[in-house]
Amino acid sequence: MKKKIVVCDALHKRAFEILAENDDIEYIDASGEDKTKLLDIIADADVAITRSSTDVDDKFLGAVKNLKAVVRAGVGVDNVDIDGCSKKGIIVMNVPTANTIAAVEMTMCHLLNSARKYVNSSNNLKVDRIWKRELWYGTELKDKRLGIIGFGNIGSRVAKRALAFDMEVVTYDPYIDSSKAIDMGVEFTKNFDDILACDFITIHTPKTSETIDMITSKEIAKMKDGVRLINVARGGLFNEDDLYEGLKSGKVAYCGIDVFNKEPANNHPLLELENLTATPHLGANTLESQENIATQAAQNAINAARGASFANALNMPIDTTKTPKEYQEYLDLIQKLAYLAAQINKGFIKSIKVTTEGEVGEYVDSLVTFAIVGALKESIGENVNYVNAKFIAEEKGIEIVTKSEKSQSFKNRVEISLTTENDSIKLGGTVFDGNIQKITNINDIALDFKPKGKMIFFKNEDKPGVIAKLSQELYENGVNIVDFRLGSDHKGSALAVVLVENELKKEIIEKLQDIKECKWVAYATI
């Protein structure tokens, strides 16, 4: 019996050619169908291929009966309910690398235009019919300093091209080994102010809690007068209101932007400004990248329909018939512990150690995979998944260690120890009543709280009055405390875990750091 693949959104013709070449595959092109009718078409599909036009939501998932996988033809999966898919045993896959070169070259387009303003000058001639060369003096890239935020697949390739223009290149990326940049002839910095001092700045990071609003009015104020900014990565990495003010004042001489926080952005205030060139999210829009995306999506869909492989899987479907639910909870817990550890102890990861107590140790291989995904999520976001996690860890030279201990206070318990170039941190936890996850310790300090919400971790000298200072600072900044947990190592140090209602700005964290007794403070979210 043939496997059925439904193509829900428009794809390059190469996808359909590949699907047609396989005799065991039946495919339906539903890209032009009404979304209501699509629900009937996908009812008996084995695999669905989608793009941004189809929401894999409750209606979609409620309509399918046999679906094994959803292949998102592209990188972003904002329109896919991954948790909902997991609960129905549906694997979600994306195509994360097919548009790398297209995004790199789009960055170079905006970089060159920010220097020469050729879009503006072309419009002045073609639309206004004005020939005034004196209006369009630009600046050369040669000998200018380019700051690259994020040095992954795209950022490193932008650097290579910028070096060919004789630019001086400096990069900031706390999650890579500095040798990756230095070996290319790129300066590596741990001081973000070195980036802010550059003539041109471009950002190439995933969209995470750490990178949203990475550039605000505070950072812009530190920049050179006449700085030029580029964002072809994700909307929201630059605070758009602050960017508007920076451009309007002239502090930012020019900005090239391909992405917005909310799209489509037809009426965005930024579009009013003459010193900004905006493109409608065209980073992946080359004929080559669209063919690459279509080719990979089609082949991945075929492999998934056959059950042969699930490349770039972003989830691990929950199969309650094979794994006891209490151990599923531990997989979820270890991922959360690792994610928290990476937010608290930022930096290039050197090792990940997973320690187990009790029968949960029988699932240590799966625990390690989930731990790696959690630990790397903070730095590379959606580019890490349950299929490639161990490969990425090996590629980055991360040492993976496992240890089994006899159960002491708990029937089952897991612990993650994360070592970066800066520090080491341990977080342990257990599960009560089958589904209540609790964190039991941070380093050697015993605690008891759920891994959920917006959390401040505040380690301090164990002296009277510190809690009052911490609470007062939060009060003065309008931060509402939801819960407060405190532990001590009985050696002169205490650790507070403060659950708060508000998102915390960097400025508040810095104020907490200035409290005399503070040893370190971190903000993390789950």
Reduced DSSP (H G I as helix, E B as strand, rest coil) percent helix, strand, coil of the chain, to 5: 35, 25, 40
117: left (phi over 0), alpha (psi -120 to 50) or beta: left
Residues 6+ apart with CB under 8 A from 470: 458, 460, 496, 498, 512, 515
Please state, in angstroms and rounded to a whole number, the distance separating the CA atoms of residues 273 and 446: 54
C-alpha distance from residue 119 to each of 112, 268, 274 (Å):
10, 19, 10
Of the candidates 411, 408, 479, 484, the residue with the CA atom closest to the CA atom of residue 449: 484
Q: Are 331 and 381 in contact (CB under 8 A)?
A: no
Residues catalogued as catalytic = 234, 263, 281
Sign of CA dihedral 112, 199, 240, 500: positive
Amino acid at 112: L
Helix axes 100-116, 287-306, angle to 10 degrees: 160
| DSSP line for 16-65 | HHHHHT-TTEEEEE-TTS-HHHHHHHGGG-SEEEE-TTS-BSHHHHHH-S
Please state, in angstroms and rounded to a whole number, the distance separating the CA atoms of residues 145 and 228: 11
